Amino acid sequence: MWGFLDNLKIQTRIYLVAFLPLLGLAVFSGVVIYNQNDTRVKMARFQEVAAAIPEISGLVHELQKERGNSAGFIGARGKGQFGDMLAAQRQATNVALSGFNARVEQLAITDGGEQFADYVQQAKKLLARLPDRRNQVDELALSVGEMAQFYTVTIARLLDSIAATTAFNAEPATVKMINGYIAFLQAKERAGLERAMGSNGFGSGAFAPAIHRRFIALIAEQDAFLSIFRANATADQLAYYQQTVTGPRIEAVAAMRKTAIDSKYGGDTGAISGPQWFETITAKINLLKQVEDRLAADILAISKAAGKANTQLLIATAGFIAILLGVIFFACRMMGTRLTAPLAVLWQNMRALADGDHSVEIAGTDRRDEIGDMARSVLIFRDAAVENQKLATARVREQEVKNQRTEQIAELCRLFERNAEESLESFVHASSELRASADRMRVSADHSQGKSAAVASAAQQASSNVQSVAQASEELARSIGAVGQHVDQSTAISGNAITEAKRASDTINKLSDAAQKIGAVLALIQDIAEQTNLLALNATIEAARAGEAGKGFAVVATEVKNLATQTANATEEISHQMDGMQSVTDETVKVISAIQEIIDQIGENAHSIADAVGTQRMSTLEISENARQVAVGTSQVTENISGVSDAILETGAVAEQVFGAADALNGQSEKLRAEVANFLRDLKAA
């Protein structure tokens, strides 16, 4: 139901929250202003109507005097001074009536003044019959009661219209003053009736019972209305009344009252005449008229003051409400601005962080409200982002270092692979040459064995035939020639064996050098494996420091460490194999050196045989003479041939050993090639 609020801005929500109270305040303010304005309008109407009160009360006063004169005129039966007094009073009444008519014509009676207007209209209708009543009084066609009733009803309607002015005013003080004023008017009206009743009684020389009772009742009514007046009048008004309505005339009226009351029905009224009574009580009524005018002036003044105060209150209230509404609106706007402005700044900060700007300053972190909590949370987020960026940069840097290290390792692997391949090729080639040389040396040894056997047989034959040397000199020459040829062949074979032994020695030396190079490369690989192991250990430590973010990197570091350990183990195994190969190579070098020495001895023996054959050739002619020497030489040849045969047999055995060592070396080289290939494959895979 309230989901639409989620789509409103915060400032709009604040205005919405304040709307209902503001609406209630506006309605309440409208009611207050309306009521005060209504009071102001009523006060203005009252002031307009109150301005007519002096004319109304003036007309009432003149009608009261005319009523009194008319009563005296009727009581005197048209005789005496009342005729002139009545005529003069009628003129004064006409003037007051003209003023009254002019004033009421100016009044614009609107809402709330219907009763006032009705009383005024009733009074005007009665006043329209005033000329007829005057004529009837002049003709003495009316009794005092009938005459007084007309004037009394007319005056009552006028007084009712004054009382109806309270409908225009709800101000308690003004209403109270009007009530006192109306009570005073009623008391004055009773005084006027008292004047009329007294004028009739004193004018006729005696009070009729009805007139007498009415006279006494009017005095009592005056006192009652004056009591009401005193209860509603202000202290100043009472003081003014007491100061005004006092003196000899008031005392004279009191004395005449006592005379009238004491005269009872038809009793003697003394020497008091009607005009005398009329003049005396009129003087009192005039004093009452002064108080009445003061009261009317007070009512008009207080109504004006109340109207002014009400207008000022209306303006002040409207101004206060307007200011209050403005302050509330301004407060809502300020509150919304104070709330949305930091949120907007915080949103901009978060947007900057989302765009990757981690250098932005987070505003509002020093606040103690929820916005401050949000700002501090954003600050923590920014710091975490900065730390993550640092970690990411460190990881990138580590990755770059790792890539560089991997590239270096790959380059070293390629270099090692190339050098190892070259060394292994040289090693294999040398082992192949060694094998071939050993094979050739074995063949040559077999051939030399055959030749040495032939030489031994020939030597034995020569020894057996030494007795027939002389006879077979030609055959000996041929045999010596054959021996010379065989010796030359043996010499050549020995020379070839010496050459091949030297070549085998050189090849073995090259193989030893290659093995040493491979050992150096293996040492380099060992160093690389140790450095890789250290790097993997450092990476594992850094990954442990990174916590959850470094778990994947820790796994990779562990794998690198394991591969480095395997590389070190493989390198160590290769090193052991190379050490074994180096030992075999050294042993082969020693064997070949021994073979070379034997072959050198064979060569020397061959040269000795050649020299001996030469000597035999040169001494063929002396064979006979030197038979003993030939026998000795033949024995020596037989012995030498036996040594050569033994040397040749030993050379064949050594050749077999060299051949086996070459095969073993070839197998080791193939195994080394496979180990190096596996090592390079594992290293590249890491």
DSSP 2: -
Tell me: pLDDT of 448 over 70.
no
Helix (H) or strand (E) holding 136: helix 130-138
Who has greater pLDDT, 578 or 489? 489
| CA dihedral of 464, 465, 468, 474, whole degrees rounded to 10 | -170
Asked whether the beta carbons of 147 and 133 are under 8 A apart, the reply is yes
Tell me: pLDDT of 620 over 60.
no
Compute the average pLDDT of residues 287-301. Answer: 89
Residue 559 located in a structural domain: yes
Clarify whether residues 450 and 595 are in a common domain: yes
Average model confidence (pLDDT) for the chain?
Answer: 77
For the domain that residue 458 is a member of, what is the CATH number? 1.10.287.950
Tell me: pLDDT of 469 over 50.
no
Residue 63 located in a structural domain: yes
> Of the candidates 309, 327, 345, which is a domain's last residue?
327
- Per the structure, the count of domains in the chain is 2
Say how far apart CA 186 and CA 299 lie, in whole Å: 16
Encode pLDDT of 473-498 as tens digits.
567 557 656 756 765 776 676 677 66
Compute the average pLDDT of residues 215-241. Answer: 94
Residue 190 located in a structural domain: yes
Who has greater pLDDT, 231 or 76? 231
Across 151-155, 272-276, 655-659, least confident range = 655-659
Asked whether the beta carbons of 72 and 199 are under 8 A apart, the reply is yes
Say how far apart CA 580 and CA 584 lie, in whole Å: 6
Q: Which residue has the tokens 């030399």?
A: 448
With 0-12 / 13-18 / 19 or more C-beta atoms within 10 angstroms meaning exposed / middle / buried, residue 79 is: exposed
> Of the candidates 300, 327, 354, which is a domain's last residue?
327
Encode pLDDT of 239-287 as tens digits.
999 999 999 999 999 999 998 888 876 667 778 888 899 899 999 999 9
Across 115-119, 199-203, 366-370, 508-512, least confident range = 508-512
> Of the candidates 286, 301, 327, which is a domain's last residue?
327
Compute the average pLDDT of residues 311-326. Answer: 83
Residues of the chain with pLDDT > 90, as a percent, come to 16
Encode pLDDT of 348-377 as tens digits.
878 887 887 878 788 778 888 777 888 788
Compute the average pLDDT of residues 577-592. Answer: 69
Tell me: pLDDT of 47 over 90.
no
Residue 79's pLDDT is 81
Residue 415's pLDDT is 78
Residues of the chain with pLDDT > 70, as a percent, come to 71
pLDDT band at 468 (very low <50, low <70, confident <90, very high): low
DSSP 141: -
Clarify whether residues 321 and 426 are in a common domain: no
Residue 491's pLDDT is 65
Tell me: pLDDT of 136 over 90.
yes
Residue 225's pLDDT is 94
Residue 351 located in a structural domain: no
Encode pLDDT of 602-616 as tens digits.
567 657 756 765 776
Say how far apart CA 318 and CA 355 lie, in whole Å: 53
Tell me: pLDDT of 77 over 80.
yes
Compute the average pLDDT of residues 372-390. Answer: 81
Clarify whether residues 427 and 315 are in a common domain: no
Residue 78 located in a structural domain: yes
Whole-structure pTM over 0.85, yes or no?
no
Residue 361 located in a structural domain: no
What is the DSSP code string of 487-541? HHHHHHHHHHHHHHHHHHHHHHHHHHHHHHHHHHHHHHHHHHHHHHHHHHHHHHH
Who has greater pLDDT, 621 or 336? 336
Residue 21 located in a structural domain: yes
What's the CA angle centered on 668, arms 667 and 673, to 5 degrees? 100
The parent domain of residue 608 ranges over 422-685
Compute the average pLDDT of residues 654-676. Answer: 71
Tell me: pLDDT of 438 over 70.
no
Clarify whether residues 427 and 306 are in a common domain: no
Residue 375 located in a structural domain: no
Compute the average pLDDT of residues 281-303. Answer: 89
From the CB of residue 177, how many other CB atoms can be counted at a distance below 10 Å? 22
Phi-psi region of 377 (alpha: psi -120 to 50; beta: other; left: phi over 0): alpha
Compute the average pLDDT of residues 336-359. Answer: 78
Tell me: pLDDT of 111 over 60.
no
